[in-house]
């Protein structure tokens, strides 16, 4: 396994600054950070600070919501196809600045180049989807029991949408929410992760330009750069009709009750502890490729990353050996290099969490087969580069049932498919799942109502790499939210049931007689 040192902090600062300029965003002051009330824009490539930014205050948060609420009152009356022109223009600008945004994603989130470009492509794709959606916000017409009456439903803009996003997809998840919310007639206030403010600044600049080019009202999008206090005020503000929050289960336990207490709406995308079942009928060549990308890609920092591999005992030894060999060939290091496949963890805290999980797994009888060791200590002492780990486990212990946001893959074995499904579903999370098999009966059993209990269930692909056309989200402690494609747009609108009497009579429903 090869390792390559990342560029220096000064080089990364210059690259980020140039990308911001090309996107039309201001370049913050360079500095070590740490100023009282300030926000440090750091890079996981070196673990050092690139810029310092002022953090949003309580007054800034209130002002942003007020401006978005004022813009909503005008924006909701604009015909949906015209609202779609803003998103169409945004997609054009994202296409023009795809390289710039990918540069910032790599600098701030540590993603390898192809994954960073893929994330920006996802933004472009959701813009195209949303533009088409702007002409398809369909309601229904239902049969009325009363003669001379028409019963139907219509969908209307909801209000201000507060978007709270996480570091691991610093731009894609924002675009899922924002592109759909805008064509639905909502305005957006975005509180990105404090770990990725630069990508947020670039996206905000491009959307402001798109809105200006399209004649949209000022204020349909507002950006808030700040910490937990900023997000908390957004969550508690009664003017925010919907809070769409992506993050940990712990965060969701805080956000959900607070929004519910004010009778607001919540869309939660929380933790995932994703599993893949491999049966004796699987194509092992295909399975190895899908497993390694899902488990080691993005350094295991996707909510859909594969964390549990549930393999039939007849093929477990062979498959595990092949995965360990594949892991040994994964280049770790500078994510800007085309041959690098694993970049850094986001922080030292993530590295510590991984080390504690591996220690607990081995205390439970697990055998560490490969990985888990830190690399590039001398070249980047403040960064957290680590080799992805594979652990053979005797059972699904407490540490396996927890989500560790790092490249740790636990291998479990089973005898019957029913046992595999029980193991798979025996965790609190329910985001993504997959089965590798060439037996159609096994595949259909996994997809059935008593099969996988996740929001995403795949056959012969890994757990990560969802397309924007389907609704994205999960069950149980994953929160139950749905974003992106399919009919996820309904979360951003309110439904009205309409009854029109076009007769000269006034019959009441259910045959009620009155007056």
Query: In residues, how long is the chain?
Result: 515
Place of tokens 């609108």: 493
How does strand 149-157 pair with strand 493-501?
antiparallel
How does strand 149-157 pair with strand 141-142?
antiparallel
Strand partners of residue 49: 42
Burial of 190 (0-12, 13-18, 19+ CB in 10 A): buried
Task: Count CB atoms within 10 A of the CB of residue 403.
Answer: 24
Task: Give catalytic status of residue 67 as yes or no.
Answer: no
Identified catalytic residue from 269, 403, 477, 483: 269
Is-contact 310 278, C-beta < 8 A? yes
Task: Count CB atoms within 10 A of the CB of residue 428.
Answer: 13
Q: Which of 354, 356, 357, 346 is nearest to 384 (CA)?
A: 346
Query: DSSP string spanning 114-153?
Result: HHHHHHHHHHHHHHHHHHHHTT-----EE--SSTTEEEEE
Which tokens is 8 given? 């220096």
Is-contact 503 148, C-beta < 8 A? yes
Question: In b/e form, how buried is each residue of 210-232, taking b as 16+ CB within 10 angstroms?
Answer: bbeebebeebbbbbbbbeeebbb
Alpha carbon distance 369, 356 (integer Å): 16
Alpha carbon distance 143, 151 (integer Å): 6
Alpha carbon distance 309, 98 (integer Å): 35
Torsion sign across C-alpha atoms 251, 347, 301, 278: negative
Task: Give catalytic status of residue 127 as yes or no.
Answer: no
Identified catalytic residue from 184, 266, 303, 454: 303
- Helix or strand holding residue 224 (H, E): none
Q: Which DSSP state fits 382?
A: T
Q: Which DSSP state fits 297?
A: G
Alpha carbon distance 146, 511 (integer Å): 9
Q: Which of 80, 474, 76, 432 is nearest to 274 (CA)?
A: 432
Query: DSSP string spanning 80-102?
Result: HHHHHHHHHHHHHHHHHTHHHHH
Alpha carbon distance 194, 215 (integer Å): 31
Q: Active-site residue numbers? A: 269, 303
């Amino acid at each position: 396994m090869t390792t390559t040192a990342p560029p220096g902090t000064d080089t990364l600062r210059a690259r980020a600054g140039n990308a911001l300029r090309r996107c039309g965003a201001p370049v913050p002051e360079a500095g070590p950070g740490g100023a009282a009330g300030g926000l440090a824009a750091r890079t996981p490539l070196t673990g050092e600070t690139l810029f310092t930014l002022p953090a949003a205050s309580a007054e800034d948060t209130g002002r942003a919501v007020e401006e978005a609420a004022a813009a909503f009152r005008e924006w909701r009356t604009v015909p949906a196809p015209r609202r779609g022109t803003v998103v169409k223009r945004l997609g054009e600008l994202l296409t023009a600045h795809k390289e710039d945004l990918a540069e910032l994603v790599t600098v701030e989130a540590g993603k390898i180049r192809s994954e960073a470009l893929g994330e920006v492509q996802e933004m472009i794709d959701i813009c195209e989807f949303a533009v088409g959606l702007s002409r398809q916000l369909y309601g229904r017409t239902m049969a009325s029991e009363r003669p001379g009456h028409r019963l139907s439903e219509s969908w209307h803009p909801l209000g201000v949408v507060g978007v709270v996003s996480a570091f691991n997809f610093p731009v894609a998840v924002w675009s899922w929410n924002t592109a759909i919310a805008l064509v639905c007639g909502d305005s957006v206030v975005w509180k990105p992760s404090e770990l990725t403010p630069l990508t947020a600044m670039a996206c905000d600049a491009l959307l402001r330009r798109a809105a200006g080019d399209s004649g949209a009202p000022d204020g349909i999008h507002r950006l808030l750069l700040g910490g937990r206090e900023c997000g908390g005020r957004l969550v508690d503000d009664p003017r925010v009709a919907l809070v769409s929050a992506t993050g940990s289960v712990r965060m969701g336990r805080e956000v959900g009750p607070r929004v519910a207490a004010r009778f607001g709406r919540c869309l939660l995308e929380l933790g995932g502890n994703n599993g893949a079942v491999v049966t004796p009928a699987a194509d092992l060549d295909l399975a190895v490729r899908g497993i390694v990308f899902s488990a080691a890609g993005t350094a295991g920092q996707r909510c859909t990353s594969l964390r549990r591999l549930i393999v039939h005992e007849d093929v477990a030894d062979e498959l595990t050996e092949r995965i360990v060999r594949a892991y040994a060939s994964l280049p770790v290091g500078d994510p800007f290099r085309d041959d690098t496949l694993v970049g850094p963890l986001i922080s030292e805290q993530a590295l510590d969490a991984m080390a504690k999980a591996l220690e607990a797994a081995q205390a439970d009888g697990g055998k560490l087969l490969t990985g888990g060791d830190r690399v590039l200590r001398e070249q980047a002492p403040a960064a957290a580069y680590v080799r992805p780990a594979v652990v053979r486990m005797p059972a699904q212990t407490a540490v396996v049932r927890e989500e560790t946001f790092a490249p740790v893959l636990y291998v479990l074995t089973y005898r019957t498919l029913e046992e595999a499904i029980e193991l798979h579903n025996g965790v609190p999370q329910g985001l993504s799942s997959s089965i590798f098999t060439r037996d159609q009966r096994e595949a259909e059993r996994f997809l059935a109502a008593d099969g996988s209990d996740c929001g995403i269930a795949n056959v012969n692909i890994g757990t990560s790499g969802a397309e924007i056309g389907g609704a994205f989200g999960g069950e149980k402690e994953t929160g139950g939210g749905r974003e992106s494609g399919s009919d996820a747009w309904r979360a951003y609108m309110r439904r009205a049931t309409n009854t029109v009497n076009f007769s000269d009579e006034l019959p009441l429903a259910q045959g009620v007689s009155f007056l």
